Amino acid sequence: MSSSSKSSDSDEASRSNPEASSSNHTIIIPSDNKEEVMKRAAAKKLIERYFYQLTDGCGNPNCDNQFCASSGLLNGLTPDEAAARAIHLFSQDARLCERHPNKIARKHETIIGDQKNETSLSLKNCVPTNNIVISQSNLKCNNAPAPTFLNEQSLYDIIDECETNDSYSPLIRTIGEIFSSIENLSRSFSEDATCTEPQNNFGSAGDLSGLRKEEVRTLEGEKDKDEDSCAEASKNSILPVDIPAVRRAYAALFKLKSSIFENALVNALVTLAGNLQMELPTRKEKDNQDDIVNALIIVFEIPALGSGDFLETALPAICRAVQRLSVEVQGRLARIWAGAAARSSIKSILENLQQLITLRVIMTPFQRDFIVQDENVITSATKLMKILYYANMLAGCLESPSLRCPPPAADPASAAPSKAKGCPVHDPLADELGVHVLDCRRPHVPFEEFYNELLSDTVEMDRDFANYKSESGKFTFMYYPFILTPATKTMGLYFDNRIRMYSERRISFLQTVTGMPSQPFLKLKVRRDHIIDDALVELEMISMENPSDLKKQLVVEFEGEQGIDEGGVSKEFFQLVIDEIFNPDYATFAVQPDSQTVWFNPTSFESDAQFTLIGIVLGLAIYNNIILAVNFPMVLYRKLMGRRGSFEDLQDWNPVLYNSLKQMLEYNQADLQDVFMQTFRISYQDVFGSTIDYDLKENGLEINVTQENKYEFVDLYADFLLNKAVEKQFHAFYKGFQMVVDESPLELLFRPEEIELLICGSKNFDFDELENSTEYDGGYAIDSQIIKDFWSIVHALSLEDKRKLLQFTTGSDRVPVGGLSRLKLVIAKNGPDSDRLPTAHTCFNVLLLPEYSSKEKLKDRLVKAINYSKGFGML
């Protein structure tokens, strides 16, 4: 009898008696040709799953499936009975449980194949030539070739096989083959279902022996590609990664003991990194880069990448390779990480990179000739973090790039010099992605989580700034400012400003030597009771005659007062100027009653020159490292960076108006027009209380706000209040500001929120920080009784009195960027007990404190000193 007739007889017996099986425990699936066998792969896999479900169960102790061993509803089945029933359940389209990644070890054996030509075959990477054979005792192919890609189901199968045989060699071999190869890894975990294991969403199939090609196609979900065509397709194109499948596969893998596979995976990743380093330099930008992108996406999903040998060996190797990526590939990585499927990984990848950088900073013995910028792992991880930084913005809340506009240009006659050479206006990756930090209203992960404080404390900003200015190609964190804390970036700005001041001083000296009298400093002599008139007049003359003098070091002298300006006099000068400028009597600025922020008065009588000079004052404060007590809304700093004000900016500018407009936008009923009764004519008040009407559109009074045009109304309203109404005032203000900071790397280093911190200082009045950083001189020590009494008194002061103490000792009541520890206060002994009040050198943050005889006397003298001190006199 031929093989085919024997198969038919056996199938007929199986249909008539599902519980029966042959004496050799064999179920025969006939096959006419190779193509037919390939089409039946899905059916074969499904029958096997029924068999495992009947014998091993799904692993769920609460399972209620009557066809699952885990439910307890089945009596013990022999392998023969389970094999026959599996075919019957398949034909009835019976319920299948969800797979459990780590099943109970399988002990039974079943064979599906020709009795006379039995061959043990696995479900993957095997091409049968005749009939399909499944062996429970041996699930691998004899002389099977190494796998060329991996997917979720095949990984489950390999894990199950290893657990069954108590040997993990197949898993280790597969990991080595897949994760060390760019080609193999890039084709793994494909999103295309036709190239992966069939899922359990098949319809009813009828009798197995009667399957025809059309029925097999139905079982496979109407997908008519066989394995050969699928393999051919994978050669021609790299399909996107199924990220959820990758995560599920890793979850199953990492349920095993890490000692089983960790070394193999680490070694494979190191090999992969080496392959990337060799291949990337030879790739051209026009070449297909899908395989690189896919491989990296899969690698960075590894959950243990930030710990153990992964952190110490594999991740550094990958980072070193990734720094060679072209801008185009970096952009594609950023877009994938920003997508809905992968954005949840941004935080974990960021944490892994931060762990790596922190570890390297701690473990590396940096010296003067080997600084942190020379450590390749740190710099490569920082470059990778930059891709993640932009992905984080893309994954957040972005506003339209149309709101980004070139800053208002200065008049040609008073145009400031161009930006400093070496300070790029655009980042290549930002251009590739079409995004800018100003577009991002809310990032997916807060920007602050990109700061690495330990790295920031380790970076020598003088050396880093030298690399930045030299344009030598050496790595500089100035181009990766997102990783540095604002306090460290402030040092970079400080070095830039000081070098420019010294350059102006040197030029003045050379001019003096050649017989041309020149002033090496920007010197202002003012009267305390006419400070605005004197200061603004002098600054106006300088800005008109020689604007470059504004970049000299500022020196202030109060007429009739003795005091040499080493910084303290300038601090008080700025404080007094700011108090006068924002005095409501001048009506230059208007105070928003709800937010208590100040904004340009659109109906101000002040000339443009006044606003230009105010802009100069703000620029000089930044340039001379002075913190100001100003309370501008955030939209001002965004506008200074080149971003027009929009609806979202109203939130901190005028929260009441913002909430009202937001209610309108969220109102979805058809009667919006009757409820809000709003037209395109708006009204606002000037500083004198007069009401002014303004039409947002022509004949605005006749145009009602409806569901169709409410967004247009809100946009026009915000644009008028924040842009058009103050366009003239802001233009003049911006021009003055740019006269001072145009050549500085301000825009390169700082986001708008950080510029506010730079100008206004921190809001964290932590006097414990100040106490811990304070130094003592003249006989005082940290354990001196008067020092203990002093800090006991200070900690008990009100916040207002603490501000006065800062004003008294440092010349400013603001907290510098980085906290009070940055002040470096010094308390020095000023003689024995006396009735004198404490005094201070504000230029050097030195408090001179007599050794008072009691705590009560110390408190009395200190409180009087901080409340009644003003001006300069003989100490």
Q: In sequence order, what are the residues at sequence separation of 6 or more whose Cβ sits closer than 8 angstroms to the Cβ of residue 607? A: none
**How many alpha carbons lie under 13 Å from residue 385 in its C-beta half-sphere?**
30
Which residue type sits at 310? F
Question: Sign of torsion, CA 120 121 127 131?
Answer: positive
Q: Shortest CA distance to 177 belongs to which of 45, 258, 271, 97?
A: 271
Q: What is the DSSP letter of 254?
A: T
> For residue 413, how far is the Cα from the chain centroid?
42
DSSP for 305-344 reads: TTSHHIIIIIHHHHHHHHTT--HHHHHHHHHHHHSTTTGG
Q: How far apart are CA 375 and CA 359, in angstroms?
A: 12
Please say whether the beta carbons of 552 and 504 come within 8 A: yes
SS3 labels along 350-413: HHHHHHHHHHHHHHCCCECCECHHHCHHHHHHHHHHHHHHHHHHHCCEECCHHHECCCCCCCHH
**How many alpha carbons lie under 13 Å from residue 268 in its C-beta half-sphere?**
22
H or E stretch at 543? helix 531-545
Tell how strand 846-849 and strand 839-841 pair up: antiparallel
Please say whether the beta carbons of 348 and 445 come within 8 A: no
Please say whether the beta carbons of 198 and 49 come within 8 A: no
Q: What is the dihedral of CA 709, 711, 714, 720, to 10 degrees?
A: -80
Q: What share of the chain is helix, strand, coil (3-state, %, to 5)?
A: 55, 5, 40
Q: How far is CA 476 from CA 360, 453, 492, 753, in A?
A: 17, 17, 11, 23
User: Among this protein's residues, is 63 annotated catalytic?
Assistant: no
Please say whether the beta carbons of 645 and 639 come within 8 A: yes
Backbone φ and ψ for 555, nearest 5 degrees, come out as: -130, 125
H or E stretch at 776? strand 775-777
Tokens encoding 844 = 């050097």
Q: Shortest CA distance to 810 belongs to which of 787, 773, 843?
A: 843
Q: In sequence order, what are the residues at sequence separation of 6 or more whose Cβ sits closer than 8 angstroms to the Cβ of residue 811? A: 567, 568, 569, 571, 572, 575, 842, 843
Q: How far apart are CA 466 and CA 454, in angstroms?
A: 21
Q: Shortest CA distance to 723 belongs to which of 746, 696, 691?
A: 696
Q: How far apart are CA 764 and CA 634, in angstroms?
A: 18
Q: How far apart are CA 839 and CA 278, in angstroms?
A: 67
Q: How far is CA 626 from CA 492, 617, 634, in A?
A: 15, 11, 19
Q: What is the DSSP letter of 842?
A: T
Provide the 3-class DSSP secondary structure of residue 156.
helix
Q: Shortest CA distance to 495 belongs to which of 745, 310, 289, 276?
A: 745
Q: Shortest CA distance to 248 belongs to which of 291, 301, 191?
A: 301
- Out of 126, 141, 230, 843, the active site residue is 843
Q: How far is CA 545 from CA 281, 483, 667, 739, 785, in A?
A: 54, 41, 57, 13, 57
What residues act catalytically?
843
